[in-house]
Chains A and B, each alone.
Chain A
């Protein structure tokens, strides 16, 4: 799998698991989980962190050589998201931005209209936009046309652990996309991450499933393995489903029949 790397916005990733940092009970637990996940790219909420503070999560990421993908978590309008993205660019000296524009506090679902608006503005402003989006194939297409470097459809709402509620939509997004597709949000357990990769996603982003697990580092390792397994299964080419008759795996020719 060493030649199966993923490149997004010039960033070459051998791990296809992108981690979030929210929800960990402590910095130490987060660090152990990040290491166990083997992630090379991790998203952080810029609004909730001072890049100059010693001993912060950014120090942990630096220590392990993990690239930082700042996000616009907590933004409700395109205008807010654009301002936050520019702050992130200045503070962290990166053009990468994970664009999140959510509709409200409770569903945390992306607001598609604001999202597209912000994506257009930021892409035109030279950002490499990773757009966190609904699992809507048409919106994904519009985001790609707007110049996003990756589209990141949700499996289900942030932190819900409900898995991939509409695998068919994810397949449609994957089939149509010419930029990487990263399944973002809703992963509850390892099989969800494997399914995302089997559906053809290029990577998976998750946080809560790991950070709120009883044993975060163990779940992180499970996610790492699941993403690898799902990727391999996708590349290996699964057999077609037979709905109406079984097919024995050992040959039946030449047997006596009665």
Chain B
């Protein structure tokens, strides 16, 4: 079988892999991306929220810092991408409105707002009336909210299209097939074997394999990343022209204890998500998933009834035990991880590409990304 070489091989052509490939190729490095269908999995399913503030969880301070750095990097990343390709990168700087339905939901929202303020994040608490001044089509029952000016969204399908074009323009090669295994010599990764049996020799592999990371063959058992797939169902609705824009901002809602988000896109698309289930690699869309998303969406946005249900789809989030990504050294020389982004893949695309490109250049991971090394999972943990 033919044997080729490439300075860098990126395994996985989702948003993360494509952005890394583009960054490296723009530096003049010869890059090959291996993926049977680039940009078609999680990257095409996600809602594309850039929500480091509204999605913050107790005890995830290091992840918050990385998320904030990436949201700050997004405008520059989008501008560069647009300048190169002449195509929209999909960034929508709309701000995010977190709303609560009943008084119990308001109490939960206030509790989170207290935590956000303790972290020094900018949040503005609103009454139900103030919320509905900003979004008049929200249900009359919405009784409070929080305005977060810094949380935005991205039309990730546009980002994928722009990145595919950018990689093409910078000379990235594509191998449209599965990597069947990583080739090693001792403790060094030296290339990949593809599904057709051919190989590509490379001194630098980058695994951006998302939910399939633990299945990447050729990696010693003890170095496998603890990444598991977490299924999410999501809907795409179309707002008829007469009702546009049904929403001006991303709306996240807690409605009678249930959580739902609605992400408006220019052009009338409204993305509604998302369910969370751990059912392995199952990507069936279940009736119950669609039902619960629509039930909760119409509770906060009654006009949901009049929107066209265009698409129902399920994707897989690459989850790690602590919800944070795995970046950098793998334990095998010549292989870097850029995976495990869980719910933050779109958000973390610019910063991941930046830190991985820098690691390839300098051999050293930037300080910001150091807490996300894979070896954090083998060190004994002290209870928080």
- Which residues of A are interface residues toward B (Cβ below 8 A)? 25-29, 31-32, 35-36, 48-50, 52-57, 106, 159, 214-215, 217-218
Contact = CB atoms under 8 A, between A and B. Distances in A.
Interface stretch (B4-12, B67-75, B226-234): B226-234
Interface string B268-303: 000000000111101000000000000000000000
A27 B214 contact: no
27 contacts: A25-B60, A26-B321, A28-B321, A28-B322, A28-B323, A29-B59, A29-B322, A31-B321, A32-B384, A48-B277, A48-B279, A50-B278, A52-B280, A53-B278, A53-B280, A54-B214, A54-B228, A55-B226, A55-B228, A56-B278, A57-B278, A106-B257, A159-B257, A214-B115, A215-B58, A215-B59, A215-B384
B384 A217 contact: yes
B383 interface: yes
A26 B383 contact: no
B319 A27 contact: yes
A24 to B, nearest CB: 10
A106 B256 contact: yes
B383 A217 contact: yes
Nearest to B295: A105
A110 B228 CA distance: 33
B133 interface: no
Interface in B177-202: none
B57 interface: yes
Interface string B227-255: 11100000000000000000000000000
A214 B59 CA distance: 8
Nearest to A161: B104
A28 B58 contact: no
Contacts of B381: 28, 32
Interface of B: 57-60, 115, 214, 226-229, 256-257, 277-280, 282, 319, 321-323, 381, 383-384
Nearest to A158: B257
A55 B227 contact: yes
Contacts of A29: 59, 322, 384
A56 B279 CA distance: 9
B280 A50 contact: yes
B383 A32 contact: yes
B229 A53 contact: yes
Closest 5 CB pairs of A and B: A50-B280, A28-B321, A55-B228, A217-B383, A25-B57
Given A48-B277, A159-B257, A215-B58, A53 B228 contact: yes
B214 A55 contact: yes
Interface centre among B57, B59, B279, B381 (most CB of A within 10 A): B59
B279 A50 contact: yes
Contacts of A52: 280
Contacts of A159: 257
A214 B58 CA distance: 6
A48 B321 contact: no
A254 to B, nearest CB: 54
A226 to B, nearest CB: 17
B211 to A, nearest CB: 11
B278 A49 contact: yes
Nearest to A58: B278
A29 B57 CA distance: 11
Contact of B383 (A25, A36, A55): A36
A28 B282 CA distance: 23
Interface centre among A50, A106, A159 (most CB of B within 10 A): A50
Nearest to B322: A28
A35 B383 contact: yes
Contacts of B279: 48-50, 53
A148 B210 CA distance: 44
Given A28-B381, A52-B280, A55-B226, 10 more contacts: A25-B59, A27-B322, A29-B322, A29-B384, A32-B383, A53-B229, A53-B279, A55-B214, A106-B256, A214-B59
Contacts of B322: 26-29
A25 B323 contact: yes
A25 B226 contact: no
Contacts of B229: 53
A189 to B, nearest CB: 14
A54 B59 CA distance: 25
A78 to B, nearest CB: 19
A106 B381 CA distance: 37
Contacts of B214: 54-55
Contacts of B226: 55
A28 B115 CA distance: 20
Contacts of A55: 214, 226-228, 321
Contacts of A106: 256-257
Contacts of A56: 228, 278
B286 to A, nearest CB: 10
Interface centre among A48, A57, A218 (most CB of B within 10 A): A48
B219 to A, nearest CB: 14
A214 B278 CA distance: 24
